[in-house]
Chains A and B, each alone.
Chain A
Amino acid sequence: KNEVEQSPQNLTAQEGEFITINCSYSVGISALHWLQQHPGGGIVSLFMLSSGKKKHGRLIATINIQEKHSSLHITASHPRDSAVYICAVRSLQGAQKLVFGQGTRLTINP
């Protein structure tokens, strides 16, 4: 079993829909990251969380440390949100390193 599991693996939605991507992990962590990988391949960091909730524009990330679960929400989705969204955790044992989920491929149709 992977230390970081994302669901769904693939998600297709219509423009304007509310999107939720889930991330569950099995180890104690110091931080959780959400990253975005565009079709061109580049990877950028969206959020770093250690508790609670963060919001940036139409993106919201939440984390529940007790349940070892995080969600990434996109409100009023747009075709330009189409990308692979990746969850990654810093475990308490390997603080210099990230462990990555497999990614969720999101496609927003106009």
Chain B
Amino acid sequence: NAGVTQTPKFRVLKTGQSMTLLCAQDMNHEYMYWYRQDPGMGLRLIHYSVGEGTTAKGEVPDGYNVSRLKKQNFLLGLESAAPSQTSVYFCASSTRGAKNIQYFGAGTRLSVL
């Protein structure tokens, strides 16, 4: 039981390049989330999904796109990377319900030069 798995763990991009971060969970969770974590700031929600085929914007969605084609996978895409997107990205998942605990992946450290 791997929980929440993020790939890759590290990536360096040049400005303007594109990439996709993959999040996979094996807990049959309905809800999945993408966050970014920057120094001195709390985790900020980029996009989230409450079920297969549905996505919604979070607090800082600009410059990112997401897809949830399968229940277990949540993809985060950067179409044209910018230095401001240098950050650590975390994926999380939870069961349905307002009080349920989120389980986090190990994070992806992305640098955009």
Contacts and interface: CB of A to CB of B under 8 A. Distances in A.
Contacts of A52: none
A86 B43 contact: yes
Contacts of A41: 88, 106-107, 109
Interface residues of A, number: 25
Given A96-B48, A97-B48, A97-B58, A45 B42 contact: no
Interface stretch (A55-63, A70-78, A98-106): A98-106
A102 B38 CA distance: 10
Count class of interface residues, chain B:
20 to 34
Interface stretch (B20-28, B60-68, B73-81, B97-105): B97-105
Interface of B: 31, 33, 40-45, 48, 50, 58, 88, 90, 92, 98-99, 101-104, 106-107, 109
Interface of A: 2, 4, 30-31, 33, 40-45, 48, 50, 86, 88, 90, 95-103
